[in-house]
Amino acid sequence: MPAGEQLKEPVAFRYTKPEQTKDKVIARLCRTDIMYASVQVIAKGGENNMHAHTAQDGFWMVLKGRAKFYGEGDVLIAEIGPNEGVLVPRGVQYWFESSSPEILEILQVEAIDKSIKNMRVDYKPRVAGRENNSPDNLNEYTHTLKA
């Protein structure tokens, strides 16, 4: 479905773990004009830099493995395992990483407030090789703040 279109009927989907061709792969599950869902499969690393989304509320839930979520100042928000999650409201700084030797499979559901310009705001530089780690880049533009 192209970004920005409203669905008119229910859509069934299925998650199948994708082949691990790099440290992070994304399995896109479904999307509408105001939300999307993906599973990120992460061998190492994660959302590699402190950032926030101006118009997206993010729901993250571990399916397999473990993850550590950090907030402003690199303060640990939570370390989570299977069937545990973190809700990141729009505008809140965060980053996360895989925190176990097991491959991390983490469900990401994002709701988008269409009344706000949807931007990713980077508070620290992105790690090389992971410049485009946003599922679908759905109406999303990057802006890096100078420290």
Q: Tens digit of pLDDT per residue, the chain (147 long)?
A: 555 678 889 999 999 999 999 999 999 999 999 999 999 999 987 767 999 999 999 999 999 999 999 999 999 999 999 999 999 999 999 999 999 999 999 999 999 999 999 999 999 887 654 444 444 343 333 343 443
Alpha-carbon separation of residue 117 from 43, 69, 80 (angstroms):
32, 25, 30
The C-alpha atoms of residue 103 and residue 72 are separated, in whole angstroms, by 26
Q: Which two tokens stand for residue 42?
A: 């992460």
The pTM assigned to this predicted structure is: 0.82
What fold characterizes domain 24-130? Answer: Jelly Rolls (2.60.120)
Element (H, E) at 77: strand 75-80
